[in-house]
Each structure stands twice: as C-alpha cells, then as structure tokens.
Amino acid sequence: MATHQLIEKIAVIKEANPGNLMARHFDAAYFLSLDEHARQSLAEIIASGVENPDSQMGAYAMNPGDYDQFATMLDPMIRDSHGIAAGTAISQQHDWDTGGTRCDLAAIDERLRDVSMRVRVARNVATFPLPGAMSKEQRVAFERVAARAFAKLAEDPAFGGTYLSITPGSPNEIDAGEYERRVEAHQMFKDMSADPYLNAAGISGDWPHGRGMYVSLKEDLLVWVGEEDHLRIMAMQRGGNLSILFERLRSGLETLTNLLPPFATSPTYGNVTSCPTNLGAGMRASLHMKLPGLTSNGTDLTRLKKAAQDLGLAVRGAGGEHSGAGTGGRVDISPSARLGVTEAQIMRRLYEGAATLWAMEQTANPTPP
Ligand code: ARG
C-alpha cells in the first residue's frame, strides 16, 4: 500500500472505529518523519489494526527492540491500553510471593473446589525475532531449541511429561486426532490460521510448522510453542487454591528459564510480548466459574461485567477470547491489569474478586445449583 493510501485508510478507521488504539495514536507527521526502512517496519507492526478495523489494540511487535525504536507511537498506545497516564513512570516489579496456601477459594465455600484455574505467562527469547517476523526455518529452529529444553525438564520427576509437535515430519509429531483431543481438552491452541488478527500480523505464518506443546506428566503444566509468543507457559488445576496454582507455574518457569536462551525483557515494560496488551508481568490468570444468577443463566453478561470491572476484573465467555457464556452461566474471569502489577498482586486480585463475585452470586441466586 502506498504511504498516502495507508495514511488515508487509518484516518477513516479512526473515525469509524474510535476503539482502535493503533488508529487513535497514529500520527501521519511522525510516520512521514521516519526513513523508508523504519516506515516499512512500523507499517508491519500496525498491519493487523489496519486490516482489522475492529481491533482494540491493532498492533503487534515484530522484534523485541520495536518497543524502544517506535516508542513515539507505541508508548501512548501502551499507556492508553493499560490505563497509565502520560508522564507517570512505568515500573514493572516482579514478586511471586504466594504467601503459603492462603489464597484458597475452597476455604471460603466448599463448592468453589470445583472452579477451574489457569495462569499463564508469555515469554519470548531474545535470540529470535518475535513470531510475526519469523521465517519458517526460524520457527522450526526455535521449536528444536524448546524441545531440547522440554526433554531436560521431563527428566525432573517433579515435571515428567512430553513434548507434542504438530510440525509435519517432527520426531515428536502427533496425529490430527490427538491434536483435536488436546484442543477439546482446552490444553492445545486452536488453528491460528483462522485468526484474522494473527494472520494480518504474520504471527500465524507457516502454520503449523514450529508449533507444539509440552505437557507435564500430571497435565498441570503446559507450554505452548509458536503461538502468539514464542512460549506461553501455564499452570492448570482445579481445587480453588490459587497459591498452589501460582507456585506450580513459578517453579516450572524457573526451571525452564535455566534451560532456555535468555528471555527478551525491557527496562520499561518488563517481559516483551508480541501484543502490547500482554507486556509487564506477561501474565493472565483466570478462573472458570458458574455464575448463573449474575448472568441470567449465561444469557446476559452486562451486570456481571459491570460488577467485575469495579473489582479490576474482565469477564469473557468460557470458550476463549470473543466467546459467549457457557452452560449454567460458566464464565472466565481474570484481572485486567498486566503492566505495573506484580504476579502476587494479580493472584490476590483474582482471589479477592472471585470471592466478592461469589458472595454477590449467592444473593442473586439463593437456591444452590
Ligand atoms: N489484535 C487484537 C486486537 O487488537 C487482539 C488483542 C488482544 N488479544 C490478544 N490475544 N493479544 O483487538
């Protein structure tokens, strides 16, 4: 697309889609002040928001250095998305102190033993471009690096498990049936080439080459390879004890960190991720719980969304991003803040928020399910 066409197209998006942060913060004068090469790079970073006007963020970094090189445009977008005012210093501290076993929802109500809990962190290694700019060879080479680390991890009896690849011809390759079963079990990621945001960013390129998943023996620690970030490391459990869940992730992450090349980090934004929404702790912690009273049996999320927002939580359907509530009002709740909050703060916010919503649910729906 010629430069003037791009500029005009973004102006139209800004008008029609005021929620698109890329369009909101795009400044034609800044774009034109860049040399040819930098302009091309920035055009690639914002391509997803240009091709998908309904984007909320509308940009993905292609290289870890992009957040510094293009800070003039990206920093205001990051602040807008994370609610950090201009001029306020961004400081990303890390603290995994889970305080023993204190954050146990089942101690509040035995019925909460049933919630399914998941916490993941996004990590990218500093020695490869981010997924949007990787060649097929780099995707496969990175997968080999990761598979070696998982082989070592599996020797540790605390983890065990195996690496499952969907790269055609990989020594760890699984068949289509097993892939489907793992997707249905909410372990493996879905076909990325069906996602228009990832397609426009090149992140789903060369699908399914270089993609796969490590799964621990107990299936409570999973690592996605080659999705939106090089690695998505996650712990998954039932039981309601968030402290135990977080500790599982912390120890898995620590062990893996020592087996992998150094991760890309930024002094300002903490862990570097493809999507600016995930910067900071790079963490998303969520609970799937049934809140039929607050959602009119899953038909209307308006009331719940409002209540959750006041608690610093976001609500989405139990079927993943952009999905509706599941049967019985099953929803996914998760702390909204990612940047400038520690891991321990995220855990506490989820624990306290879930406890409050559960108490509200009891008065909204006095008959136990
Ligand atoms: N690129 C999409 C948008 O701008 C998704 C952003 C957040 N989700 C994500 N998976 N990174 O709306």
What would the mean pLDDT of 320-332 be, rounded to a whole number? 80
What would the mean pLDDT of 81-106 be, rounded to a whole number? 91
Given pLDDT bands bounded at 50, 70 and 90, which one contains residue 324?
confident
Percent of the chain with pLDDT over 70: 98
What would the mean pLDDT of 144-166 be, rounded to a whole number? 98
Give yes or no for a contact between 320 and 194, defined as CB atoms under 8 angstroms apart: no
Which pLDDT belongs to residue 170? 97
Which pLDDT belongs to residue 98? 81
Given pLDDT bands bounded at 50, 70 and 90, which one contains residue 367?
low
Which pLDDT belongs to residue 366? 58
Q: Is the pLDDT of residue 146 over 80?
A: yes
Q: What residues does ligand 1 touch, defined as CB less than 6 Å away?
A: 48, 55-58, 197, 228, 275, 277, 321
Q: Is the pLDDT of residue 368 over 70?
A: no
Q: At what angle do helices 242-257 and 136-155 cross, to 10 degrees?
A: 110
Q: Which numbered atom of ligand 1 lies nearest the CA of 201?
A: 1
39 C-alpha to ligand 1 centroid (Å): 22
Given pLDDT bands bounded at 50, 70 and 90, which one contains residue 325?
confident
Q: Which numbered atom of ligand 1 lies nearest the CA of 55?
A: 12
296-308 burial, b at 16+ Cβ within 10 Å, e below that, comes to bebeebeebbebb
Candidate of 277, 284, 322, 338 to mutate for ligand 1, largest count of ligand atoms within 8 Å of Cβ: 277
Domain boundaries of the chain, sorted by first residue: 3-82
Which pLDDT belongs to residue 365? 67
What would the mean pLDDT of 191-201 be, rounded to a whole number? 97
Given pLDDT bands bounded at 50, 70 and 90, which one contains residue 317?
confident
60 C-alpha to ligand 1 centroid (Å): 8
Q: Which numbered atom of ligand 1 lies nearest the CA of 49?
A: 4
Q: Which numbered atom of ligand 1 lies nearest the CA of 274?
A: 11
Candidate of 24, 195, 197 to mutate for ligand 1, largest count of ligand atoms within 8 Å of Cβ: 197
Given pLDDT bands bounded at 50, 70 and 90, which one contains residue 268?
very high
CA distances from 369 to 111, 185, 304, 362 (A): 10, 24, 18, 10
**CATH, domain range 3-82:** 1.10.135.10
What is the C-alpha to C-alpha distance for residues 240 and 117, in angstroms, rounded to an integer? 7
Measured by CA distance, the residue closest to atom 4 of ligand 1 is 57
197 C-alpha to ligand 1 centroid (Å): 7
What is the C-alpha to C-alpha distance for residues 291 and 153, in angstroms, rounded to an integer? 38
Q: Which numbered atom of ligand 1 lies nearest the CA of 48?
A: 1
What is the C-alpha to C-alpha distance for residues 204 and 201, in angstroms, rounded to an integer? 8
Given pLDDT bands bounded at 50, 70 and 90, which one contains residue 4?
very high
Which pLDDT belongs to residue 282? 93
